[in-house]
Structure 1
Amino acid sequence: MSGTASWSRQSSTVMFSSRWFEVRRDETTRPDGSWGTYDHVIVPGSVTVLAVDDSGRLAVTRQWIYVHDAPQWRLPTGRIEATDPDPEAAARRELREETGISADRLERLGAITCADSFTNLREHAFLATGLRQGPARLEAGEADLELHWLPFERVLAMVRGGELPHAGSSFAVLSAFALGRITP
């Protein structure tokens, strides 16, 4: 939107910081010239991997998600670490750590922003093919993670039925379908 006024940050204060995220309070000038305060969460990006085997089955995980207080279906996913050179490297690492799967090919499906008014989170989605199974390297908080191989039709029905509520997972499934990379 060229030629229009934009927000201007006057100051930014870190209100809370942990190894996972930080909460900032920014003093801003809004596009209309008024002064305001904007609280938001800063996090590293994350990745989601739609791994498809030679039979057309998808790697789907199920594990307890603490903040939702329930088990959840999702694709392999995780944060981009400072040591990852780029989102693709993070996707390869997360897929291998959570499921033990290595992929010959990774294709970028796109990125989705989540909770825009609250956080800067950008989730990068990838399609993984040419899969090889090895041992998973789960972290302590992932000890209950189960890997399931489900047909695409079932996973697409899960998206439609709200059974795959993780935004990055649903985005990856729908993007691969819309781009014609995977079909029922």
Structure 2
Amino acid sequence: MSAAGPKVFADQPDPRTLVASETLYEGRIWNVVSDTFSLTGDAEDVLVRDYIAHPGAVAVVAMDDHGRILLLKQYRQPVRMSLWEIPAGLLDVEGEDFVVAAARELAEEADLAAGRWDVLVDFFNSPGSSSEAIRIYLARDLTEVPEADLHTRTDEEAEIEHLWVDLDDAVQAVMAGRLHNPSAVAGVLAAAEASRRGFEALRPADAPWPEHPSQRHRPAPAAGTGQ
């Protein structure tokens, strides 16, 4: 890399030699995988990393005509907290279009439909321990889902509380350390920057998402090795 920096300032695909791969645990939603791989291409010089093989997720910043965004309060057992979040859900329906999945989550968790969709931001939730990729959309031109079509929420979702928040207030909550959900934090800050730019730099809803697990080619282990 030159002193002037890389020619393209972007994360790049960089697959390394996969020597072996084993599924250690099969769960209802995600698995735990152990990969043996080589950084140098030398099959004798290997590293082993265990991680969550995740189907990915979508999330939605729903913004009304007054510039307010919708936050949801939901209990999360792993952190033993009720968190203010944005509508989100797993991409666990094989072959489902990403925007269709986001619209489904918006309807199920927020009782809303949107007439306009744009991509706000893409990110890896925890790339050192999970393959999870998340895409956050900005949803506008909102309407309420007809009562006959409302989704019946169960389990933790049955406790969901809805709150419309001014975007500036949501940013202040993030910066003050009052919001902790990663999709909410990333979505709020991205929405604020998009608003500052007059929403002119947003990618279309159908913009490519090559970082999602379904769009990435996972190489097979080298011949004669792995599982």
Distance 1:84 1:103 in 2: 22
Q: CA deviation at 1:173?
A: 1.6
Q: Supply the AA of the counterpart residue of 1:7.
A: R
Q: Supply the AA of the counterpart residue of 1:23.
A: V
Consecutive unaligned residues in structure 2, runs of 5 or more = 2-13, 200-227
Deviation string, structure 1 residues 68-114 (Cα, Å, up to 9, x no partner): 10111111111112245222111101110001111111111120111
Identical amino acids, percent of aligned pairs: 24
The one of 58, 62, 66 aligned to 1:47: 58
Are 1:11 and 2:26 an aligned pair? no
Taking a change above 3 Å as real, the CA distance of residues 120 and 6 of structure 1, as seen in their structure-2 partners, is closer
The one of 24, 39, 53 aligned to 1:30: 39
TM-score when scaled to structure 2?
Answer: 0.73
Deviation string, structure 1 residues 13-41 (Cα, Å, up to 9, x no partner): 11001121100111212237421211111
Taking a change above 3 Å as real, the CA distance of residues 80 and 13 of structure 1, as seen in their structure-2 partners, is same
CA RMSD of aligned residues (A): 1.9
Aligned residues: 179
Q: CA deviation at 1:124?
A: 0.3
Distance 2:122 2:198 in 1: 16
Taking a change above 3 Å as real, the CA distance of residues 83 and 97 of structure 1, as seen in their structure-2 partners, is farther
TM-score when scaled to structure 1?
Answer: 0.89
Taking a change above 3 Å as real, the CA distance of residues 6 and 105 of structure 1, as seen in their structure-2 partners, is closer
SS of alignment partner, residue 143 of structure 1: helix
Are 1:86 and 2:101 an aligned pair? no
Consecutive unaligned residues in structure 1, runs of 5 or more = none
Match in the other structure for 1:96: 107
Deviation string, structure 1 residues 46-66 (Cα, Å, up to 9, x no partner): 111000111222110011111
- In 2, are the aligned partners of 1:81 and 1:90 still within 8 Å (CA)? no
SS of alignment partner, residue 172 of structure 2: helix
SS of alignment partner, residue 129 of structure 2: coil
In our comparison, the structure showing a higher alpha carbon Rg is 2
Distance 1:84 1:176 in 2: 28
Q: CA deviation at 1:131?
A: 0.7
Are 1:158 and 2:167 an aligned pair? no
